[in-house]
Amino acid sequence: MTGATTLRDRIRDKALALGFDAVGFTEARLGPEARTRLADFLASGAHGEMDWLTGRQEQRGDPRALWPEARSVVSLGLSYAPDEDPRAIQGRPDRGGISVYARNRDYHDVVKGMLKHLAQFIVKASGQAGVKVFVDTAPVMEKPLAEQAGLGWQGKHTNLVSRRHGSWLFLGEIYTSLELPPSDRPAGSCGSCTACLAACPTDAFPAPYRLDARRCISYLTIEHAGPIPHEFRPAIGNRIYGCDDCLAACPWNRFATTAREAKLQAREDLRAPPLAELAALDDAGFRARFSGSPIKRIGRNRFVRNVLIAIGNSRDPGLAAAARALAGDPDPVVAEAALWAAEQLGPS
C-alpha cells in the first residue's frame, strides 16, 4: 500500500467521521463529454437568465483553469433525503410546497463548514497540500466530477443518482495539489427508466439528460425574477419554492435513508405552511421567518409572487381575500400575480 493510498484512506475515514455520506477521488480534469454538454446547454439558451453560468465557462470545464495547482479532487456527498414523499403536499392546495433541500438551514453553510474541517485535516495530514473548497457557487462542474469520483452517475434528470442515496445528495468539492489515486467507478445507470422525465409537470426535459431550465419549476420560482409566464402557472400548482418531482420519482430513492444531519431535516413550520399566512409577510416578516434559510436569498417579493401563483391554483375561494389584499402591492410583479390569483378564484 503506497503512502498516497494510505493518505487517501485516512481522508475518506475523516470525511465519514465528519458526517459526509459519500466520498470519492478523481483527477482534477474533466472529460470532453462534460465540457461538450456544458457548451451545448449554454449555446441553446436553456440556462435562461442564469448569466453567471456563461461568465467563467473555461474554468467550469477545466478544474486547472480555475486553480492551476489542482491535481486531485475530493468529491463529497451529504444526504438530505426526506422522511416523507415531498409530493404529498400537492394534495393540500391551501398549503405551500417547499423543496426538500430548503426546509431548514442553508446547505451552502452546512456543507462548507464540514468541507473546511476536512480541508484542515488534509493539510495537517499531508504536511504540504494546497486545498480549496467549493459548494455550488463557484465555477465547478460538481456532478461530472462526482460521477468520475464514483459517487454515482448523472441521471436522465441531469442530477446525480447514487445507488445508496438515490437523488438526494448535496455535493461539495475539495481541490488539492496532492496526487491521490482515483476511486473506482461502480456500475450504475438509469437503464430504460424514464420516471423522472414523465414526472416533470412542465415538460422541462426535451430529451433524456437534457434540461431546459426555462421550463423548470425550480428555475421559475427561484432564479426567474419577473412575472412567471402564464403558460406554466397552472402546472406549478402549490409549489412555492423549487420542485422535487423529478428527484422524488427516481426508483433508486427506495434505498435512501433519512438525512442524519439535523440542520437538513425539515422544520415543522416549513413542511406545509399555510398560503394565506405566507402571503401576508412583509419584508421584515419574510426575513425573520427565513433567517438562515436558502429561501431568504430570493427576497420577499419573488417569494410572495410564488405564493400568489399557488393561491390562484388552489381553487379555494377562502384565499381570494389574501390575493386581493396584494393587488396594490408596490412591487408590480407581486401586484400582477395578485390580480391573476384573484381572477382565478372568481369574483369577490
Q: How confident is the model at residue 35 (pLDDT cuts 50, 70, 90)?
A: confident
User: Which residues belong to the annotated binding site for cob(II)alamin?
Assistant: 60, 136, 160, 171, 218, 243-244
Identify whether the C-beta of residue 131 lies closer than 8 Å to the C-beta of residue 119: yes
Q: How confident is the model at residue 16 (pLDDT cuts 50, 70, 90)?
A: very high
**Better-scored residue on pLDDT, 17 or 1:** 17
The per-residue pLDDT for 138 is 87
Q: How far is CA 213 from CA 31, 45, 57, 86, in A?
A: 24, 9, 17, 21
Indicate the domain borders of the chain: 3-176, 195-257+266-344
User: What is the distance between the alpha carbons of residues 84 and 298, in angstroms, rounded to a whole number?
Assistant: 26
Question: 3-class secondary structure for 303-322?
Answer: HHHHHHHHHHHCCCHHHHHH
pLDDT at 57 over 90: no
Secondary structure (3-state) at 25: strand
User: What is the distance between the alpha carbons of residues 63 and 41, in angstroms, rounded to a whole number?
Assistant: 19
User: What is the distance between the alpha carbons of residues 291 and 6, in angstroms, rounded to a whole number?
Assistant: 42
Cell of 27: 483527477
The per-residue pLDDT for 348 is 64
Identify whether the C-beta of residue 245 lies closer than 8 Å to the C-beta of residue 199: yes
**Better-scored residue on pLDDT, 33 or 276:** 276
Q: How confident is the model at residue 2 (pLDDT cuts 50, 70, 90)?
A: low
User: What is the distance between the alpha carbons of residues 19 and 147, in angstroms, rounded to a whole number?
Assistant: 20
User: What is the distance between the alpha carbons of residues 15 and 266, in angstroms, rounded to a whole number?
Assistant: 24
pLDDT averaged over the chain?
A: 95
What confidence tens digit (pLDDT) does each residue in 197-223 have? 999 999 999 999 999 999 999 999 999
Alpha helices in the chain (DSSP H): 3-18, 32-43, 52-55, 57-61, 63-66, 107-126, 142-148, 195-199, 217-218, 233-236, 245-248, 275-279, 283-289, 299-313, 320-324, 332-344
What confidence tens digit (pLDDT) does each residue in 138-174 have? 899 999 999 999 999 999 999 999 999 999 999 999 9
pLDDT at 1 over 60: no
Where do we find the cell 443518482? 161
Q: What integer is the mean pLDDT of 78-87? A: 96
The per-residue pLDDT for 219 is 98
DSSP letter for each residue of 83-139: SS-GGGGGG-TTB-EE-GGGSSS-HHHHHHHHHHHHHHHHHHHHSS--EEEE-SSSS
b/e 45-75 (16+ beta carbons within 10 angstroms → b): ebbbeeeebeeeeebbbbbeebbeebbbbbb
Where do we find the cell 461502480? 186
User: Which residues belong to the annotated binding site?
Assistant: 60, 136, 160, 171, 190, 193, 196, 200, 216, 218, 243-244, 246, 250
pLDDT at 255 over 60: yes
Q: How confident is the model at residue 54 (pLDDT cuts 50, 70, 90)?
A: confident
What confidence tens digit (pLDDT) does each residue in 289-307 have? 999 999 999 999 999 999 9
User: What is the distance between the alpha carbons of residues 77 and 74, in angstroms, rounded to a whole number?
Assistant: 10
Identify whether the C-beta of residue 107 lies closer than 8 Å to the C-beta of residue 264: yes
User: What is the distance between the alpha carbons of residues 256 and 8, in angstroms, rounded to a whole number?
Assistant: 26
Report the share of the chain in percent with pLDDT over 90.
Answer: 87
Catalytic residues: 136
Q: What integer is the mean pLDDT of 170-190? A: 93
Identify whether the C-beta of residue 152 lies closer than 8 Å to the C-beta of residue 163: yes
Q: How confident is the model at residue 179 (pLDDT cuts 50, 70, 90)?
A: very high
User: Which residues belong to the annotated binding site for [4Fe-4S] cluster?
Assistant: 190, 193, 196, 200, 216, 243, 246, 250
Q: How confident is the model at residue 128 (pLDDT cuts 50, 70, 90)?
A: confident
